[in-house]
Amino acid sequence: MSDQIFLELDRLTRVFAGTAAVRELSIDVAEHEIVTLLGPSGCGKTTTLRMIAGFEQPDSGRVVLKSQDITRLAPQKRGFGMVFQHYALFPHLSVGANVSFGLETAGHSKRGIGDRVKRALDLVRLPGTEQRSVGSLSGGQQQRVALARALAPEPRVLLLDEPLSNLDAALREQTRRELRTLVKEIGITTVYVTHDQEEAFDLSDRIALMRAGRLDQLGPAEGLYHRPATEFVATFLGRAGAVESILDGRADGEVVRCRLAGDVVWSALAPEADVAFASGSNVRLLARPEALTFALTDDDAAVRGTIVDRRFAGSVYIYTVSVQGGMLEVQADGGAGRAGDAVAIAPRSAPAGIFAFPPPLHTGE
């Protein structure tokens, strides 16, 4: 991956009916990089993608491609390819006609169009399907036809808006891995939108995690997961239990020692942002289920509680445990206990997977 900035979003803002869908959003995308816009529904991901494509105009801010401001450039002049959530294929046209749609009006010769269609279908592993009807294809194959149509004009940037959301779970996993392999083989700069964190982890070089139109954190998946910058990032990625009570803590470099109810002390990681916790200051502790384990009741590092729920999660079980001050989730095997059992919980390898954040501000909203 090149470190050179290829696509720049510079303080983009878009307001609808007095409400900001995107606020002061700045993201740099390197050449050949896959950056995923991740976040809950309504956080501004698709609006951002539409501003990149030119379908929405920002109220302020710029879209810059290779140092050229393209904010006011028409979508058809940007040279971007886009794949939509619902594919937008024409059912009455053949696969080849779908892929070639728009190439003739772009000024390509008939022979040139045929060459581009063949090349695009070869790229997406659908060679020789030009004459087939779209309706005869599976969902995964239709998704690849939509991708071939986006690739046929040989775009400078590829934009994908939740393109796998209509596929079943098994096909979605297979297709996203094929998609990453394909995009990397082509070497095309890509911006991908999804609300599915597993999809983002699998596809991305970097993830831009958005909340309420703003960027909360940008970086590789491992960085966001293991060193979340905010409480929202910690809770959105992976399963995270939370001690809801206000806890005492004191700073010790990057590690915060947090005193819980019962005078138990757990170590936690502070956010990457330079947040200083004074001794005795209030903090909010969040722990990932895999960071905790069931312990002996006389363990000095253990908090005591009661199992209130146990659910199967494939190779492990997730236990919800009521402790003084809130709830914790613990990942363990199926023999660790059942609802109603008294248990003790301790960190597995603190401070990994345990995070300290300032308590939320109460604005009265």
Q: What is the pLDDT of residue 248?
A: 62
Q: Is the pTM of this model over 0.85?
A: yes
Torsion angles phi and psi, residue 43, rounded to 5: -85, -5
Residue 365 lies in a domain: no
Domain boundary pick from 230, 253, 279: 230
Q: Examine the domain organization and report whether 259 and 182 are in the same domain.
A: no
Q: What is the pLDDT of residue 365?
A: 42
Q: What is the pLDDT along the chain (365 residues), one digit of tens a residue?
A: 446 899 999 999 999 999 999 999 999 999 999 999 999 999 999 999 999 999 999 999 999 999 999 999 999 899 999 998 887 899 899 999 999 987 877 778 888 899 999 999 998 889 999 999 999 998 888 988 999 999 999 999 999 999 888 888 888 888 888 889 889 988 999 999 999 999 999 999 999 999 999 999 999 999 999 999 998 999 899 765 544 434 566 666 678 888 888 888 899 998 876 677 877 788 888 999 999 999 998 888 899 999 999 999 888 999 999 998 889 999 999 888 999 999 999 999 888 999 998 887 654 44
Q: What is the pLDDT of residue 236?
A: 92
Q: Examine the domain organization and report whether 223 and 238 are in the same domain.
A: no
- Extract the tokens encoding 163: 């393109």
Q: Examine the domain organization and report whether 172 and 35 are in the same domain.
A: yes
- Report the C-alpha dihedral over residues 249, 221, 238, 313, rounded to 10 degrees: -140
Give the CATH number, domain containing residue 35.
3.40.50.300
In sequence order, what DSSP letters do the residues of 180-227 get, joined into one string? HHHHHHHT-EEEEEES-HHHHHHH-SEEEEEETTEEEEEE-HHHHHHS
Length of the chain: 365
The rounded Cα 244 to chain-centroid distance in angstroms is: 25
CB 262 within 8 A of CB 245: no
Q: Examine the domain organization and report whether 201 and 265 are in the same domain.
A: no
Q: Examine the domain organization and report whether 87 and 190 are in the same domain.
A: yes
Residue 105 lies in a domain: yes
Q: What is the DSSP letter of 264?
A: -
Residue 142 lies in a domain: yes
Q: Examine the domain organization and report whether 218 and 245 are in the same domain.
A: no
In sequence order, what DSSP letters do the residues of 22-36 get, joined into one string? EEEEEEEEETT-EEE
User: How far apart, in whole angstroms, are the C-alpha atoms of residue 342 and residue 192?
Assistant: 45
Domain boundary pick from 201, 230, 259: 230
Q: Domain range holding 304?
A: 232-357
Q: Examine the domain organization and report whether 105 and 11 are in the same domain.
A: yes
Residue 204 lies in a domain: yes
Residue 134 lies in a domain: yes
**Residue 231 buriedness (CB in 10 A; 0-12 / 13-18 / 19+):** buried
User: How far apart, in whole angstroms, are the C-alpha atoms of residue 319 and residue 321?
Assistant: 6
CB 248 within 8 A of CB 257: no
Residue 362 lies in a domain: no
Q: Examine the domain organization and report whether 298 and 350 are in the same domain.
A: yes
User: How far apart, in whole angstroms, are the C-alpha atoms of residue 253 and residue 267?
Assistant: 11
Q: How many domains does the chain have?
A: 2
Domain boundary pick from 181, 196, 230: 230
Q: What is the pLDDT of residue 273?
A: 64
Q: What is the pLDDT of residue 293?
A: 95
